Amino acid sequence: MNNSESGFRHGVAGNYAFFLCILAAAPASAASSENDVAPLNYFLHSYGPASTPTMVLGWVFAALLIAIFSSIALLLVWAVFRKRPAVDPRSIGREDEGMPWIYIGTGISTGILFALAIYALITLNAIANPTHAPALTLTVTGYDWWWKVEYEDDDPTRSFATANEIHIPVGQPVLVKLKSADVIHAFWVPMLAGKTQMIPGLANQQWIQADVEGVYGGQCTQYCGVQHAHMSLEIVAQSEDEFRTWQDAQRGEAEMTAGINAGKSLFLDRCAGCHAIRGTEAVGAHAPDLTHLNSRRLIAAGLLTNTPDHLAQWITHAQDLKPGARMPSMALTATELNALSAFLSTLN
């Protein structure tokens, strides 16, 4: 995965001027992060047409609210220091001199709120549909606490599933169908689109488009249980060619190299009830598909980088690393773990 050219840093600094007071730390943390995945606080920036109108709406709201807050604060200060005229005892109980201002104030507030409501509706309409037909449709299903990602094809042998990492071609609208397997989740990739709920039994959808190559962070934004915070995903926007290459590789079944039989039969015994590996008898559907496990950068929905060490730790200590996760810590001897690791290392 080549994200050294990722575009998140382009033009980011200038936009911060306005929000500097609140977000002063953000550019620094972006530059020093170990990889180029843009942090979620970049929702103040847009990298595609599905999120630009919403971002502008956010800035307009923020600017207006700051202006209103400041003027009220100034009026309060003025009221504190204003010298009152001496009180005429006969006027007590007659407070109506201020009445016109109450009407004027209510009128101004109503006008502003009404204009904002219309602006919000116009924005909703502007992002409802992509400008041209989606280049790709995929289905993302929320599970406690990971994402299943399915790329369907009319030819079922070309369909495949992966987890927590979504690849899309850059500059193209992509339709994302959103489902849930258990409770309500919400799909949110702030730099590419607003969030959309994933509700059990309901078919929702939204479209996303990335105009700059790179890796965009996403997160479940509907509290869904103990590991909600560890339910993140990555969108990898690639050139058309890179995307096709990735897609063709994902379509392939697992390659069974020699010398991994012990690990494979252990996997079929212990793991296949939940996990699938295409090309083997493992067809479990309610855990991440592991056919091309090693093509993914992270495991456990963003919790760990995908290294042989982390994989081994995850398999034997899933419940310590992600307490409550729907995978038990597997009791395996060192020999078994080695055999299993050798087998998993072939899943490219």
Residues that bind ligand HEC (CB under 6 A): 145-146, 163-164, 227, 270-271, 273-275, 287-288, 290, 293, 296, 299-301, 311, 314-315, 322, 325-328, 330, 340
Residue among 37, 140, 215, 220 that touches Cu ion (CB under 5 A): 220
Residue 143 buriedness (CB in 10 A; 0-12 / 13-18 / 19+): buried
Q: How far apart are CA 348 and CA 345, in angstroms?
A: 7
For residue 44, the minimal CB distance to ligand HEC (Å) is 29
Please name which of 321, 150, 317, 138 lies closest in space to residue 230, comparing C-alpha atoms.
321
Q: Reduce the DSSP state of residue 182 to 3 states and report it.
A: coil
Nearer Cβ to ligand HEC (126/326): 326
Is 178 near Cu ion (CB under 5 A)? no
Q: Which stretch binds Cu ion (CB under 5 A): 35-43, 215-223, 246-254, 289-297?
A: 215-223
For residue 225, the minimal CB distance to ligand HEC (Å) is 10
Nearer Cβ to ligand HEC (127/344): 344
Nearer Cβ to Cu ion (209/232): 232
Residue among 228, 251, 286, 310 that touches Cu ion (CB under 5 A): 228
Residue among 30, 37, 224, 290 that touches Cu ion (CB under 5 A): 224
Radius of gyration of the chain (CA): 26
Nearer Cβ to ligand HEC (212/327): 327
For residue 15, the minimal CB distance to ligand HEC (Å) is 34
Dihedral over alpha carbons 109, 114, 117, 118 (to 10 degrees): -150
Q: Retrieve residue 55's tokens.
A: 């971002």
- DSSP letters spanning 14-51: HHTTTTHHHHTTHHHHHHHSSS-PBPGGGGGS-SSTTT
Q: Reduce the DSSP state of residue 303 to 3 states and report it.
A: coil
- Interacting residue ranges for Cu ion, rule: CB under 5 A: 185, 220, 224, 228, 231
